[in-house]
Amino acid sequence: MSAAITDQEFALFQRLIYRLAGINLSPAKKILLVGRLSKRLAHYGFGTFSEYYRLLGSGERPDEVQTFVDLLTTNETYFFREPQHFDYLREVIVPARAGGGATFRIWSGACSSGEEPYTMAMVLADALPVGRWEVFASDISLSVLERARAGLYPLERTRGIPPEYLRKYCLKGVRSQEGRLLVAPELRDKVKFAQVNLTAPITGIGEFDVIFLRNVMIYFDAETKRQVVDNMLPSLRSGGYFIVGHSESLNGITDRLMTVRPTIYRKPH
């Protein structure tokens, strides 16, 4: 049976995840928090959430702080989610920006378990078969980054992948891996994963033609949204595209991007 959480304890965890990851955890998420953290209480033999909170604040277990962040930031994703964005990438952005000698670079800013960056890789491999391109994928959660690097998914999670991409870029598991699908190694080699906290200054990742930041800003308050976008924009090349989720908007968040169409923005030259 799960321990009960008091309003005061929940408020402590709200402030902590906001400080660590910029996530604005609403009261409606109390049941989710209890469900995800109860196993950690059981792991340590704690009877209250206050004991677990004290452990996180003690400085003795930075690995447990990372586990806490992982548990509260892991979100559902799937291949070819919001497919209009990938159509626009293939049909408009790549033809306009992939000429010349520069490597075409795209950043999946909140990549979760890897479906988004591997979708990008399939599109780019198809659109630029002899071109130079790479995908950079980041997340704050180390556990999902580990899963993403493996590129191994249950078959039922791959339903959104077009049949021709399945044939060209995916390997069906056999024997011990039956029921699973592996992203082809030539695609995995083009996708680089790294832990990045978007609420902190970002350096050393280079510049990109396109940045995807989809379905993550819904967890941020307005000030954190501004901070995250300000942190990411220096990495966007002039004329590059910034794409958010269909339930999101940059209206009132930044004046440094032009609206191309809803959810798709561009950095002026």
Query: Which is catalytic among the residues 70, 105, 139, 214?
Result: 139
Provide the phi-psi class of 97: left if phi over 0, else alpha when psi is between -120 and 50, else beta.
alpha
Specify the pairing of strand 236-244 against strand 258-261.
unpaired
* Helix (H/G/I), strand (E/B), else coil: 75: coil
Distance, in Å, from the CA atom of 171 to the CA atom of 161, rounded to the nearest integer, reads 13
Residue 185 in tokens: 């190694």
Distances (CA, A) of 244 to 81, 154, 250, 264: 12, 27, 8, 7
139 is catalytic: yes
Query: What is the CA 216 to chain-centroid distance, rounded?
Result: 7
Query: Which is catalytic among the residues 7, 15, 19, 36?
Result: 36
Distance, in Å, from the CA atom of 156 to the CA atom of 200, rounded to the nearest integer, reads 36
Specify the pairing of strand 258-261 against strand 264-266.
antiparallel
Catalytic residues: 36, 139
